[in-house]
């Protein structure tokens, strides 16, 4: 494995660890305060932190907003859905079941986006190997969530 691929993989793993930790903490907030309050605290504190980083580290490049397609700005609203569903489902299903369903849904939607090139994705067609992998994933979802 090249050092560049190793670094990218480690960043992805760190992101996965952060998502699991955030989900558990958001579940505590959701149970104690409610889903909307949990989302507000998560987005509010995150927005404040990234705003401060943009201000002090490099000034940000918000002036380039017109160079991206309009639908790219839906990412913020979709992020609210992600954060709210994680905060709501984790305390009710547990981390493993909730994330099994979330990750499986990501795989299937990702496969569609890749296969058809939707929303600016580079086309990466489905093949038998990917379809078989997704079927194994479905078996894993069933085994994980049913218990």
Report pLDDT digits (tens) over 77-132. 999 999 999 999 999 999 999 999 999 999 899 999 999 999 989 999 999 999 99
- Specify whether the CB–CB gap between 87 and 25 falls below 8 A: no
Reference 144, options 104, 114, 110, 115; nearest CA is 104
- Radius of gyration of the chain from its Cα atoms, rounded to whole angstroms: 18
Reference 95, options 45, 26, 10, 143; nearest CA is 26
- Specify whether the CB–CB gap between 112 and 118 falls below 8 A: yes
pTM of the model: 0.78
CA–CA gap between residue 23 and residue 95 (Å, rounded):
8
Phi and psi (nearest 5°) for 59? 85, -15
Chain centre to alpha carbon of residue 23 = 11
Tell me the per-residue pLDDT of 38-48, one tens digit each, with 9 for 90 and over: 999 999 999 99
């Amino acid at each position: 494995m090249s050092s560049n691929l190793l670094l990218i993989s480690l960043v992805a793993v760190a992101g996965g660890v952060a998502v699991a930790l955030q989900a558990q903490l958001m579940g505590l907030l959701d149970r104690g305060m409610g889903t909307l309050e949990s989302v507000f605290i998560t987005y509010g504190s995150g927005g404040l932190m990234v705003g401060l980083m943009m201000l002090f580290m490099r000034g940000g490049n918000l002036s380039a907003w017109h160079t991206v397609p309009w639908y790219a700005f839906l990412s913020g609203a979709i992020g609210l859905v992600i954060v709210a569903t994680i905060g709501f489902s984790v305390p009710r299903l547990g981390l493993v079941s909730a994330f099994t369903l979330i990750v499986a849904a990501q795989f299937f939607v990702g496969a569609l986006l890749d296969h058809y090139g939707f929303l600016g994705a580079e086309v990466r067609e489905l093949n038998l190997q990917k379809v078989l992998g997704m079927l194994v994933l479905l078996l894993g979802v069933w085994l994980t969530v049913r218990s």
